[in-house]
DNA sequence: TGTACATCAGTGAACGCGCGTTCACTGATGTAC
DNA sequence: TGTACATCAGTGAACGCGCGTTCACTGATGTAC
């Protein structure tokens, strides 16, 4: 047993040295904020919500971590905003794209291998399932927007019953999302990963032309 | 500015008080290990790989965290083992289940709302996509086993070309996984969450009976 | 079969690290006069 | 239009906490004789 004696000068709080070029234009600040959101959307898609820290994220956007809370109340807030941003981007990109072209692009190696630049639904719906209501609400809104974009291209004008189109579009989206997610869960470059993608793409495209036009069994939800 | 003086007795290393009932039967230890793996599989499905810590996991299994490393080299090792365990459970449960019954069970509210007791693919393939090769390898093996189980029920005996069955089964699995994951990403109890599930279940079942029997467009992968 | 000793599953405190968050400070921008 | 001052985006050190992992220790089990 020994006796140690520590002597320490407690300074009130250490003085900070200054730096140049502070304060930024209001417009610039808004632009910076948008850039942080876009960077976060990409990083979250690549590594998941838990896979990216605030400091790393801010560094990737070209800032230090301290300023984060001048823009967002918390990381959770940014998660919701970045999700909304990513989801609306996917919907916007789909504007004017018909079902077949959507499937060709979505159920592809390029999409599967480019998670950061791809669809937020395929990249983060597994994570979203465990997140609080605000994020799930953003996902539901994002999915709904994407469905609307897809439906706009597939609706036969004059078709009084748009129910069938919505059914088709919902089913096609879930089918495509499942194909990409399943393929991504397999080792990179494994035969199964490619097989899933190729089989599903062909089957989804085939189902579009065959067209399950009768809505007999494809009834809506009970509600 | 003030001066603080700390005086502290540094003991070599504090003695530990003992505890009763240590050391356990070899068989008991093996059983404990299996219990930890099963507990981990469930918790990972519920909250994701990053959502469960070693200490919490061991506590849930009824142990203290220190013993963890008597069973596993690292958390990453357990992640792979728990994934394998969960995946093989799903394949085993599917033994003797035909495609229609599989879809009815899989694309259901019960499955969607019971992540911990459900399919590891639907719960963790989003996470698996970002994990190292060993976990992805387990997923590929698990998927392959599940495909085999499903194919065994759907193969027409005497059908020389089992290629079409495999195609159907791969497509059906991806379709079902996508439906559950998409539904889970929506707010709990939201109309869209239920609509996705109901629409997809009906469509998948319909596609089973309609049967895209011609394999013309549904060719295999290039390889 | 009985006895002496090594093994090792389990314990609980500790370690180092990185996380989300806070805070004092800076100084150009934005605003009030 | 010019001047004085408040605002606030951005900085970087610090905080507390929980994570994965390590370690000295325990004592019944398992084994060698």
Average pLDDT score over residue span B106-116 = 98
Q: Is residue A18 part of a domain?
A: no
Task: Answer yes or no: is A23 CB < 7 A from strand D.
Answer: yes
pLDDT surpasses 70 at B12:
no
Give the pLDDT score at A21: 54
What is the extent of the structural domain holding B199? 83-211
Rounded Cα gap, residues B170 and B187, in angstroms: 28
Q: Is residue A149 part of a domain?
A: yes
DSSP conformation class of B190: -
Rounded Cα gap, residues B150 and B154, in angstroms: 7
Chain B residues with beta carbon closer than 8 angstroms to that of A219: 198, 202
Q: What global pTM score does this model have? A: 0.87
- The pLDDT confidence band at residue A14, using thresholds 50, 70 and 90, is very low
Q: By mean pLDDT, which of A101-110, A125-134, A158-167, A179-188 is the weakest?
A: A158-167
Rounded Cα gap, residues B3 and B195, in angstroms: 69
Residue A38, SS3 per DSSP:
helix
| B167 in Cβ contact with B211 (< 8 Å) | no
Give the pLDDT score at B23: 74
CB contact under 8 A, B218 and A206: yes
Q: Is residue B24 part of a domain?
A: no
Q: Is residue A48 part of a domain?
A: no
CB contact under 8 A, A124 and B126: yes
Query: What is the CATH classification number for the domain harbouring A201?
Result: 1.10.357.10
Give the pLDDT score at B162: 86
Q: Name the nearest CA neighbour of B164 among A202, A116, A161.
A: A202
Q: Is residue A54 part of a domain?
A: no
Rounded Cα gap, residues B18 and B13, in angstroms: 15
CA distance to A16, A117, A191, B99, B204, per residue, from B145 (Å): 61, 32, 15, 15, 21
Give the pLDDT score at A7: 32
Q: Is the dihedral of CA B104, B110, B116, B121 positive or negative?
A: positive
pLDDT surpasses 50 at B222:
no
Q: Is residue B38 part of a domain?
A: no
The DSSP line for B163-182 is HHHHHHHHHHHHHHHHHHHH
Percentage of the residues of chain A whose pLDDT score is greater than 70: 82
Name the residue with tokens 């530990």: B16
Residue A4, beta-bridge partner list? B8
* Domain count of the fold of chain A: 1
CA distance to A222, B34, B41, B107, B146, per residue, from B92 (Å): 32, 17, 15, 18, 8
- The pLDDT confidence band at residue A209, using thresholds 50, 70 and 90, is confident
| B186 in Cβ contact with A136 (< 8 Å) | yes
Give the pLDDT score at B22: 62
Q: Which nucleotides of C are covered by protein (CB under 7 A)?
A: 7-14, 18-30
- The pLDDT confidence band at residue B30, using thresholds 50, 70 and 90, is very high
Q: Is residue B26 part of a domain?
A: no
Q: List pLDDT tens digits, range A119-145.
A: 999 999 999 999 999 999 999 999 999
Chain A residues with beta carbon closer than 8 angstroms to that of B210: 210, 212
| A86 in Cβ contact with A45 (< 8 Å) | yes
pLDDT surpasses 50 at A40:
yes
| B141 in Cβ contact with A142 (< 8 Å) | no
Q: Name the nearest CA neighbour of B97 among B44, B172, B199, B197.
A: B172
Q: List pLDDT tens digits, range B157-183.
A: 656 578 999 999 999 999 999 999 999
- The pLDDT confidence band at residue B155, using thresholds 50, 70 and 90, is confident
| Distance, Å, B45 CA → D9 C1' | 41
- The pLDDT confidence band at residue B24, using thresholds 50, 70 and 90, is confident
Q: Is residue A24 part of a domain?
A: no
Name the residue with tokens 């599930």: B197
Rounded Cα gap, residues A18 and A22, in angstroms: 10
Question: Which segments within chain A are labelled E, that is strand?
Answer: 2-10
Q: List pLDDT tens digits, range B41-96.
A: 999 999 999 999 999 999 999 999 999 999 999 999 999 999 999 999 999 999 99
Average pLDDT score over residue span B103-126 = 98
Average pLDDT score over residue span A90-111 = 97
Residue A67: what are its φ and ψ, rounded to 5°?
-70, -10
| A70 in Cβ contact with A140 (< 8 Å) | no
Chain A contact present for B141, CB below 8 A: no
Q: By mean pLDDT, which of A17-21, B90-94, B199-203 is the weakest?
A: A17-21
């Amino acid at each position: 047993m020994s006796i140690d004696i520590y002597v320490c000068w407690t300074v009130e709080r250490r003085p900070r040295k200054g730096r140049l070029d502070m304060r930024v234009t209001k417009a610039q600040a808004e632009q910076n904020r948008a850039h942080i959101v876009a960077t976060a959307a990409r990083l979250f898609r690549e590594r998941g919500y838990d896979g990216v820290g605030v400091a790393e994220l801010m560094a990737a956007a070209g800032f230090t971590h301290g300023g984060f809370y001048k823009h967002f109340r918390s990381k959770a807030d940014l998660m919701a905003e970045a999700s909304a941003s990513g989801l609306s981007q996917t919907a916007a990109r789909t504007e004017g794209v018909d079902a077949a072209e959507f499937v060709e692009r979505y159920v592809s190696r390029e999409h599967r291998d480019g998670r950061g630049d791809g669809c937020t639904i395929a990249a983060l719906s597994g994570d979203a399932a465990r997140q609080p209501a605000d994020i799930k609400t953003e996902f539901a809104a994002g999915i709904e927007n994407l469905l609307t974009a897809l439906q706009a291209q597939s609706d036969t004008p004059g078709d009084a019953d748009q129910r069938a189109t919505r059914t088709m579009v919902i089913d096609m989206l879930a089918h495509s999302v499942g194909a990409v997610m399943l393929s991504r869960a397999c080792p990179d470059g494994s035969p199964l990963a490619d097989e899933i993608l190729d089989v599903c793409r062909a089957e989804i495209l085939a189902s579009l032309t065959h067209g399950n036009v009768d809505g007999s069994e494809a009834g809506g939800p009970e509600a």
